[in-house]
């Protein structure tokens, strides 16, 4: 088994009929890069930068952030690295930021909402990412986007950071790609509008499930409702992928849904371009992708879309998966 994984590592995530996707890893720190590479990850689909900010007494400086981003980019040797800007608030607090207590933290002041208000903090991070961008292939991703206005505002601040660096003669990747996490239903539903103004989408199913099904992702009592294979989630995922392809941009997925084998055939069939997950599940997902044709996967996705409940969908997919092995 180990030998099989070792071989898989070098192989592309390509279907039997030649359709290639990317299987990537989610990381929280530069130390996680090694695990992604060892498991055959072809990029970083989500670098959660908030760990740089947590468990400390003060804000990380531009230099500290630059060093971390550079280390990840160099470690990945030119493979794509999607750096998500600060996603704080909700369940994640920063002692030195004094975030207000809220009745509904998951619906409150978090992530891009904080960054667009604390502009200097945001620009410091963007400058660090831009400076690091010459050491590999960096992409910038904004979390918790609810609509296109936030995309425009965030991009304006990226432009400001770029102008500053230019004035200081500091090099950066002038064509750096900018995308968003699709993890709020309003963004998923209006993906056709947002697609005009970004270079890629990455679907954050952890929050997308929470917000679409109205089920707190931390609450055990209602966890039975938390279901990525809910017909509503599949329809949102399809809408996002279709909207991106109509504009010629790609859609990835970096929520837990992307790393669970039960979902792989459906996501592949819906046209997902990049699957990003914890390093350990990469080989398994790659193997499933390499054992089916895109045509078959499309049929499975269509069948899934015709079914009424997560259970029915799971039963159907399990049958197909058993036949593969």
Which residues form the interface with ligand PEP (CB under 6 A)? 46, 48, 87, 183, 204-207, 254-255
User: Least distance in Å: CB of 235 to ligand PEP?
Assistant: 17
Phi-psi region of 44 (alpha: psi -120 to 50; beta: other; left: phi over 0): beta
User: CA dihedral in degrees (49, 53, 55, 58; nearest 10)?
Assistant: 170
Identify what 255 binds: ligand PEP, Mg ion, none; CB under 5 to 8 Å per kind.
ligand PEP
Instruction: Among 43, 185, 204, 252, indicate the residue that binds Mg ion (CB under 5 A).
Output: 204
Determine, following the binding rule CB under 5 A, whether residue 173 of this chain makes contact with Mg ion: no
45 binds, options Mg ion, ligand PEP, none, Cβ within 5 to 8 A by partner type: none
* Contact (Cβ atoms closer than 8 angstroms) between residue 139 and residue 177: yes
- With respect to ligand PEP, which residue has the nearer C-beta, 65 or 276? 276
Adjacent-strand bridge partners of 92 = 89
* C-beta contacts of 160-165 below 8 A and 24+ residues apart: 160/123, 161/123, 161/126, 161/127, 161/130, 162/130, 164/123, 164/127, 165/127, 165/130, 165/131
Residue nearest to Mg ion (CB): 207
Site for Mg ion in 207-246 (CB under 5 A): 207
Site for Mg ion in 93-112 (CB under 5 A): none
Cα 145 from Cα 238, distance rounded (Å): 18
Helix (H, G, I), strand (E, B) or coil at 201: strand
Q: What is the DSSP string of 31-67?
A: GGHHHHHHTT--SEEEEETHHHHSSSSSPPPHHHHHH
Closest CA to 233 of 204, 260, 262: 204
**Least distance (Å) from ligand PEP to the CB of residue 10?**
27
Q: Which is nearer to ligand PEP, 86 or 129 (CB)?
A: 86
257-260, long-range: CB < 8 A, 24+ apart: 257/203, 257/205, 257/209, 257/228, 257/233, 258/45, 258/205, 258/285, 259/285, 260/228
Nearest approach, Cβ of residue 274 and Mg ion (Å)? 17
When binding is defined by CB under 5 A, the residue of 173, 183, 227, 296 that contacts Mg ion is 183
Return the number of the residue (87 or 199) whose C-beta is nearest ligand PEP. 87
Q: Report d(CA 181, CA 158) in Å as an integer.
A: 17
User: Given the complex with Mg ion, which of 8 and 253 has the nearer CB atom?
Assistant: 253
Question: Considering the complex, what minimum distance in angstroms separates the CB of residue 312 from Mg ion?
Answer: 28
Residue 274 interacts with which of ligand PEP, Mg ion, none, CB < 5 to 8 Å by class: none
Question: Is 115:140 a contact under the CB 8 Å cutoff?
Answer: no
Minimum separation from the CB atom of position 26 to ligand PEP (A): 7
Q: Residue 199 or residue 207: which is nearer to ligand PEP going by CB?
A: 207
Closest residue by Cα to residue 313 from 227, 247, 211, 240: 227
Q: Which does 269 bind (CB under 5 to 8 A by kind): Mg ion, ligand PEP, none?
A: none
Cβ 129 to ligand PEP shortest distance, Å: 17
As measured in angstroms, the least distance from the Cβ of 71 to ligand PEP is: 21
Chosen from Mg ion, ligand PEP, none, partner binding at 254 (C-beta under 5 to 8 Å by type): ligand PEP
Which residues of the chain form contacts with Mg ion (CB under 5 A)? 183, 204, 207
């Amino acid at each position: 088994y180990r030998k099989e994984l070792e071989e898989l590592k070098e192989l592309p995530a390509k279907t039997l009929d030649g359709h290639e996707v990317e299987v990537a890893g989610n990381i929280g720190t530069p130390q996680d890069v090694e695990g992604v590479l060892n498991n055959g990850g072809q990029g970083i689909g989500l670098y959660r930068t908030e760990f740089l900010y947590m468990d400390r007494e003060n804000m990380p400086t531009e230099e500290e952030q630059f060093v971390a981003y550079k280390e990840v980019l160099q470690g990945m040797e030119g493979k794509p690295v999607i750096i998500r800007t600060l996603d704080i608030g909700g369940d994640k607090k920063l002692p030195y930021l004094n975030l207000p207590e809220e009745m509904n933290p998951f619906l409150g002041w978090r992530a891009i909402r904080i960054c667009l208000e604390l502009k200097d903090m945001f620009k410091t991070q963007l400058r660090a990412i831009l400076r690091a961008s010459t050491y590999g292939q960096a992409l910038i991703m904004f979390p918790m986007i609810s609509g296109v206005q936030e995309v425009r505002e965030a991009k304006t601040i990226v432009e400001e950071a770029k102008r500053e660096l230019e004035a200081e003669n500091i090099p950066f990747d002038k064509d750096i790609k900018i995308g968003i996490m699709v993890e709020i239903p309003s963004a998923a539903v209006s993906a056709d509008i947002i697609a005009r103004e970004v270079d890629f989408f990455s679907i954050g199913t952890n929050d997308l499930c929470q917000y679409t099904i109205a089920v707190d992702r931390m609450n055990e009592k209602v966890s039975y409702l938390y279901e990525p294979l809910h017909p509503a989630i599949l329809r949102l995922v399809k809408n996002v992928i279709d909207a991106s392809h109509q504009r010629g941009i790609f859609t990835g997925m970096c929520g837990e849904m992307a790393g669970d084998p039960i979902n792989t055939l459906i996501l592949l069939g819906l046209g997902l371009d990049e699957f990003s997950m914890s390093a350990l599940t990469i080989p398994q997902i790659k193997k499933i992708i390499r054992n089916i044709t895109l045509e078959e996967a499309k049929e499975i996705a269509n069948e899934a879309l015709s079914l009424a409940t997560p259970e029915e969908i799971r039963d159907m997919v399990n049958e197909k998966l058993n036949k593969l092995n």
